[in-house]
């Protein structure tokens, strides 16, 4: 498959299928799976990933906003879609037309959405969000008084807003990726308390859900009617201790590659890059590679991280610039222009995990993969062979 071999991300669809099947095999029978494909499927490319997961049988998709949902519908994705964040209420007609379910982010929001749906002559399906500990969006329910208030507000949404159809109720865990599970269990108890109180008043929901990736891994008793895996679909773990347990056989789906553009000798005493932050302590062989912070390589890992060439580590030397950076290839064997360097992923039998890059940048793998730039094409593979390409800059080259 032809694409510009400057910097590119390889997305292994076989690994995404594998990870989905691992999740499917480890959730309780009858439990639905809502695959999170927001933020362009965590940088992996929402359309191609969603098409892959729809073929695998995922029950729902989760996105952040209306435009992400529209993108999936236009690409032929017909499974139910839940928008997890805010949508302007005046978009009620499009929500109904496209069969998109909207999260209720607050009582005032629900009232406005109901009014706009009535004005448009439609009914919008919603899932009521209960805020049991994030303090972000949803009906506040973090103490006794708030629990009663959230119950009353949910009653109003379900019984007094005829243009909203509440088919689900959910919450989101704040600390499910931590080893101390006290707060997660408190959140779950509050959530179930509200559900039970509503049930006693004759109000039930088709779908109750609370498990994100971490909770799906750690709390099978909380899986309820649906789980919402995100990061684990892409073969990454929310926290290192979960990976060390070895109980879930997940495989990273993305590798990031870049090309060597130039190799040249640099004498001892020469300085490298902006700000002259690196001085050659000896005669060096330096390779310039075609990736920079505009491609998603964090500038803060300058002079800290490395890449793989010939299955060996080549340290980044000097500051990472917008479009390029430099590697010390003095001891990695023969390197010439056009050689492929691995930013994260495998080179031969050696693997450089994305978690290592994230740690050096002082962040999390979620952010690292989401920030891979839009001028980096995504190359999709099956059985080790390229089968499709996603090019954001020249989309006709596909």
pLDDT tens digits along 69-125? 999 999 999 999 999 999 999 999 999 999 999 999 999 999 999 999 999 999 999
CB count in 10 Å sphere of residue 66: 20
User: Looking at 38, 42, 293, 366, which residue is catalytic?
Assistant: 38
**What is 254-390's CATH topology?**
Lyase, Ornithine Decarboxylase; Chain A, domain 1 (2.40.37)
pLDDT at 68: 98
pLDDT at 2: 80
Average confidence score pLDDT of the chain: 96
Q: 178 vs 38, 240, 358, CA distance in Å?
A: 23, 10, 18
pLDDT at 3: 86
Task: Determine whether 38 is an active site residue.
Answer: yes
Please determine, for residue 340, whether its predicted confidence score (pLDDT) is greater than 70: yes
Please determine, for residue 398, whether its predicted confidence score (pLDDT) is greater than 70: no
Please determine, for residue 255, whether its predicted confidence score (pLDDT) is greater than 80: yes
pLDDT at 371: 96
pLDDT at 1: 73
Confidence of residue 188 (pLDDT cuts 50, 70, 90): very high
Distance CA 39, CA 195 (A): 30
Report which of residues 240 and 303 the model is more confident about: 303
Confidence of residue 243 (pLDDT cuts 50, 70, 90): confident
Distance of CA 97 to the CA centre of its chain: 27
Beta bridge partners of 255: 10
Compute the average pLDDT of residues 30-44: 98
Compute the average pLDDT of residues 204-213: 98
pLDDT at 161: 98
Place of tokens 């310039």: 288
CA quadruple 36, 16, 218, 231: dihedral, nearest 10 = -50
Compute the average pLDDT of residues 285-305: 98
User: Looking at 55, 201, 264, 274, which residue is catalytic?
Assistant: 274
pLDDT tens digits along 345-365? 999 899 999 999 999 999 999
pLDDT tens digits along 170-185? 999 999 999 999 999 9
Task: Determine whether 380 is an active site residue.
Answer: no
The structural domains of the chain, with segments of one domain joined by +, span 31-233, 254-390
Please determine, for residue 246, whether its predicted confidence score (pLDDT) is greater than 80: no
pLDDT at 381: 97
Architecture of domain 31-233: Alpha-Beta Barrel (3.20)
* Tokens describing residue 342: 């691995």
């Amino acid at each position: 498959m032809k694409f510009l071999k400057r910097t590119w991300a390889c997305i292994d669809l076989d690994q995404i299928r594998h990870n989905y099947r691992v999740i499917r095999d480890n959730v309780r029978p009858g439990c639905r799976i809502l695959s999170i494909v927001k933020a362009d499927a965590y940088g992996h490319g929402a359309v191609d990933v969603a098409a892959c997961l729809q073929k695998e049988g995922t029950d729902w998709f989760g996105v952040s906003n209306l435009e992400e949902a529209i993108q999936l519908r236009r690409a032929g994705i017909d499974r139910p879609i839940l928008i997890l964040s805010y949508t302007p209420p005046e978009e009620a007609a499009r929500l109904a037309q496209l069969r998109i379910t909207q999260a209720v982010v607050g009582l005032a929001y629900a009232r406005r959405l109901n009014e706009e749906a009535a004005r448009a002559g439609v009914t919008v399906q919603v899932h009521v969000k209960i805020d049991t500990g994030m303090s972000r969006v949803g009906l506040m329910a973090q103490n006794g008084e708030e629990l009663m208030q959230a119950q009353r507000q949910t009653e109003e949404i379900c019984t007094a807003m005829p243009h909203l159809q509440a088919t689900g109720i959910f919450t989101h865990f704040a600390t499910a990726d931590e080893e101390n599970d006290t707060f997660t269990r408190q959140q779950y108890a509050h959530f179930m308390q509200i559900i039970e109180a509503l049930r006693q008043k004759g109000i039930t929901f088709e779908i109750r859900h609370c498990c994100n990736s971490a909770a799906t891994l750690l709390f099978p008793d909380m899986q309820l009617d649906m789980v919402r895996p995100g990061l684990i679909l892409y073969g990454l773990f929310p926290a290192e201790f979960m990976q060390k347990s070895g109980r879930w056989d997940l495989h990273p789906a993305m590798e990031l590659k870049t090309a060597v553009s130039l190799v040249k000798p640099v004498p001892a005493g020469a300085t490298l890059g902006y700000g002259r932050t690196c001085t050659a302590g000896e005669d060096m062989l330096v390779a310039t590679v075609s990736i920079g912070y505009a491609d998603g390589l964090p500038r803060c890992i300058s002079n800290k991280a490395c890449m793989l060439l010939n299955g060996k580590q080549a340290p980044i030397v000097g500051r990472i610039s917008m479009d390029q950076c430099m590697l010390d290839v003095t001891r990695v064997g023969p390197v010439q222009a056009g050689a492929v360097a691995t930013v994260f992923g495998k080179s031969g039998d050696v693997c450089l995990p994305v978690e290592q890059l994230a740690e050096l940048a002082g962040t999390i793998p979620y952010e690292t993969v989401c920030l891979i730039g839009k001028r980096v094409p995504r190359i999709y593979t099956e059985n080790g062979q390229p089968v499709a390409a996603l090019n954001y800059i020249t989309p006709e080259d596909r």
